[in-house]
Amino acid sequence: MDASLIVTVIGLAIGGIVFLLAWLNGPELITGWKRFERSYLERLHRALDAIYSRTDPKKYFYTHIAITTVLFIFVSYLLGPANGVLVSILVGLFPWLGLARAKRQRLERLEDQIPDALISMSNSLRAGLTLPQAIGILVDNTAPPIAQEFGLMLKEHKLGLTLDEAMNNMGERVRSKNLDLVITSVQVARVAGGNLPQVFEDTAEAIRDIRRLEDKIETMTAQGRMQAWVLGSLPVGMAVLIYKVDPLMVSPLWEDPIGWIILFFIALFEIVGIFMIRKIVSVDV
């Protein structure tokens, strides 16, 4: 029997089973779908808010579901349902990985802006302005993301929160160790009656020193991180080369159930090894 005919028959059988289950358990399936959609949208809304994105969560959700479904059908038709499920799982992870990467990049840009922001507020205070006025000038004359975070903090202060409470909310929202250092310095200086402009300048210099030390450590550990990627990609590269030379040597890995088990443990050990190497070369300053 032709392979494409087999795939078509399997697809029709799966579609018939899904239709039968939906007909017999319609309310339960609808309730489960609504629960999944609500959980997805709540998590997505938090992730989009964290990067100040104006993307519509529902549009994002249905686009993600549509792309995943189309790829599942396409890959299942070409390579079989098992590979279709694997591709669907990978595609399902991509949006969340992208949002996590966007959040990480946003945090890095914010930490790069902190020293200049502190110098700006220090100059405003030396000119005779109050701290909220200095923050307002910072918000008006700097680029996101630091303008967004300080702007939200200033709005919370204007709506009735004390400046300390608004700063603590910003620290919990951003979760940056450098920003926590700034918040702690400001709060201590305001309580103890210190020279706030000088505190800002000293904190900015300390953060610059920390950043220089982090850059130096990152340069010194670059070889270790590269080794992690080389060791991680070496088995995959060797498998591709062997498949090009003699496909029958490696094809049992995905044609036999025992081969799938072996692939699972290979992937597991690969991930554990990469994380162990990255843990060794990562140094917290």
Residue 62 lies in a domain: no
Residue 247 lies in a domain: yes
Q: Within 13 A of 276's CA, how many CA atoms are on the CB side?
A: 8
User: Is the four-CA dihedral 244, 231, 98, 32 of positive or negative sign?
Assistant: positive
Residue 283 or residue 181, greater confidence: 181
Q: What is the pLDDT of residues 147-168, one digit of tens each?
A: 999 999 999 988 988 888 999 9
Q: Are residues 205 and 146 in the same domain?
A: yes
Q: Out of 175, 192, 212, pick the residue that ends a domain.
A: 212
Q: Within 13 A of 29's CA, how many CA atoms are on the CB side?
A: 9
- What's the whole-number mean pLDDT along residues 138-144? 89
Number of other CB atoms surrounding residue 62 within 10 Å: 12
Q: Are residues 123 and 188 in the same domain?
A: yes
Residue 1 has pLDDT above 50, yes or no: no
Residue 48 has pLDDT above 60, yes or no: yes
Q: What is the pLDDT of residues 259-283, one digit of tens each?
A: 788 888 888 888 787 778 777 766 6
Residue 169 lies in a domain: yes
Q: What is the pLDDT of residues 63-102, one digit of tens each?
A: 888 888 888 888 777 777 777 777 778 888 888 888 888 8
| Domains of the chain: total | 2
Closest among 123, 111, 143 to 200, alpha carbons compared = 123
pLDDT band (50, 70, 90) for residue 119 = very high
Q: What is the reported pTM?
A: 0.69
How many Å apart are CA 199 and CA 247, to the nearest integer? 67
Q: Out of 167, 192, 212, pick the residue that ends a domain.
A: 212
Q: How far is CA 273 from each of CA 220, 227, 278, rounded to the nearest angstrom? A: 20, 11, 9
Residue 17 has pLDDT above 50, yes or no: yes
- Cα end-to-end distance, the chain, whole Å: 64
Give the list of residues 6+ apart from residue 233 with CB closer than 8 angstroms, or none.
none
Q: Are residues 240 and 265 in the same domain?
A: yes
- 3, amino acid identity: A
Q: What is the CATH number of the domain that holds 153?
A: 1.20.81
Q: Out of 212, 239, 254, pick the residue that ends a domain.
A: 212
Residue 43 lies in a domain: no
Which domain range does residue 163 map to? 106-212
pLDDT score of 283:
62
